[in-house]
Structure 1
Amino acid sequence: MSDVVLLERRGAVQVITINRPQVRNALDAAVAKAVAAAVDELDESEDLRVGVLTGAGGTFSAGWDFNAFLRGESPAIEGRGLCGIVKTPPRKPLIAAVEGWALAGGFELALACDLIVASRTAQFGVPEVRRALVARAGAALLLPRRIPYALALEMLLTGSPIGASRAAEVGLINRITDEGGALAGALELAGTIASNGPLAVAATKLIARSSHDWTLPEAWDKQAEITEPVFASFDSTEGATAFLEKRPPVWRGR
């Protein structure tokens, strides 16, 4: 793994840290490849159940590195989108831990995560229009699905950021922490998720992320297709048995 992205395992949680604090964790091709490789490892590992994505040095990410942009370098992975997670998110849950600025591509990277934990001093914005660019790495498509349309359009068309309190009010972020506490808050949330049945968690994420594209009649069939293997798994039996025996379950992911 490149030193522009650091990996750390904390129990069943993988912490992925963008490590370019000298440029506010701006995104280039090297970062994109390293983040994509990290989430692939998350999905492939039998021991990892949740990922946490964060940035070093008190900033989540300031977005696309303009030096990389001017030399024609993109932080997108072919067929997978920004850093390999926007178009093809990992099967397992991914939580953004945001300190400081999450701007442009950095904000779109946070949007690609399933949950967001932010410090109360965090700022979120899509200033692309101020540089005659379009937020095409996810914000223009995904932001109107996450927050009220009028506010999403205001952010996209003015380029003005919003703070963590406003982001929490409109349902953009899940939890607010004190400054410097976003990673700890994200790890606490990740630990709660990681304690649950991994097959059930992955299936629930897939349904929640996919269902907005399904018609109601087909939704029930698609949900059944996804959930039937979960109900037939060892883990589902273990969950019921552990409850009756008043003990913690031991998940095997099968």
Structure 2
Amino acid sequence: MTDPIRTRRENGILEVTIDRPKANAVDLATSRIMGEIFANFRDDASLRVAIITGAGTKFFCPGWDLKAAAEGDAVDGDYGVGGFGGLQELRDLNKPVIAAINGICCGGGLEIALSADLILAADHATFALPEIRSGTVADAASIKLPKRIPYHIAMDMLLTGRWLNAEEAHRWGFVNEILPADTLMDRAWALARLLESGPPLVYAAIKEIVRDAEGRDFQTTMNKITKRQYRTVDVLYGSEDQLEGARAFAEKRQPVWKGR
């Protein structure tokens, strides 16, 4: 048996590949491995950006492994740190994550993709939430998708399980870019390198603010920012990097970010 998850690291970038033939479905054991990987990514100060993708060209991930479920994996079992796929409930993940969708992305696989910050799709990628057809609920998608795309389109996907191609997914706004399949990973890595070169403390502040603001009104969130009540904002405002940004601008040069 090969490892169900492969990783590749280049400087501050971590690529995570789901590799479970034939369809890259995720069982409990695989989810726990993914949780450990993404928790380590979160906690490793030398890592700046992650890419999540699937092996092959047909499947990104169809989500929950129904064959494993039939053999005893409980749907409410131990998914590990971060919940299903290691990303959905991972606390304090304040680094950018890119999903590179290389094929079929449905069910829990789409929920994993929605946990990323940026989504790139191969031109043959397809998307769906087919849980309705098996008598279950797409729980994380029911929470996230109506906040990401128009309500009626999200409800259409949730209530009917219909499939969207990459163009429609892009049109409704939950895919950033559509790419030829053979350039998908090149583009994902180019984007990751761009993000790697940016200010990690600012990324952290952005992600914490965005997460917290989902459940708050505008003024409450603004007050928390100005009073430095977000840990990441407090760290940023007292950092060397903030001074470096101002100095680099004044000196007309590129800043050198140190993450401190």
TM-score (norm 1): 0.93
Equivalent residue letter for 1:3: D
**In structure 1, C-alpha distance between the alignment counterparts of 2:23 and 2:124, rounded to whole Å:** 16
**In structure 2, C-alpha distance between the alignment counterparts of 1:148 and 1:133, rounded to whole Å:** 23
Contact 1:36 1:85 in 2 (8 A): yes
Counterpart of 2:108 in structure 1 is 105
What is the CA deviation profile of residues 35-90 of structure 1, one whole-angstrom value per residue up to 9, with x for unaligned ones? 11111121111211011101101221011111122213447635732123212252
Paired-residue identity, %: 36
Matched residue SS, 1:109: helix
**In structure 2, C-alpha distance between the alignment counterparts of 1:247 and 1:30, rounded to whole Å:** 48
1:94 maps onto 2:94 in alignment: no
Structure 1 stretches lacking a partner, 5+ long: none
Query: In the TM superposition, what are the counterparts of 1:1-254 in structure 2 within 5 Å?
Result: 3-20=3-20, 22-58=21-57, 59-70=59-70, 71-74=72-75, 77=79, 80-88=82-90, 90-136=93-139, 138-224=140-226, 225-226=229-230, 227-254=233-260
**In structure 2, C-alpha distance between the alignment counterparts of 1:63 and 1:76, rounded to whole Å:** 15
Equivalent residue letter for 1:72: D
Shift of 1:248: 2.8
Equivalent residue letter for 1:38: I
What is the CA deviation profile of residues 164-215 of structure 1, one whole-angstrom value per residue up to 9, with x for unaligned ones? 1111111111111112322222222222222111001111111122212112
Shift of 1:142: 0.7
**In structure 2, C-alpha distance between the alignment counterparts of 1:184 and 1:209, rounded to whole Å:** 29
Matched residue SS, 2:32: helix
**In structure 1, C-alpha distance between the alignment counterparts of 2:184 and 2:158, rounded to whole Å:** 25
**In structure 2, C-alpha distance between the alignment counterparts of 1:76 and 1:143, rounded to whole Å:** 24
Contact 1:97 1:116 in 2 (8 A): yes
Structure 2 stretches lacking a partner, 5+ long: none
Q: How many residues align?
A: 251
73 and 184 in structure 1: CA distance in 2 versus 1, 3 angstrom threshold: farther
Matched residue SS, 1:141: helix
TM-score (norm 2): 0.91
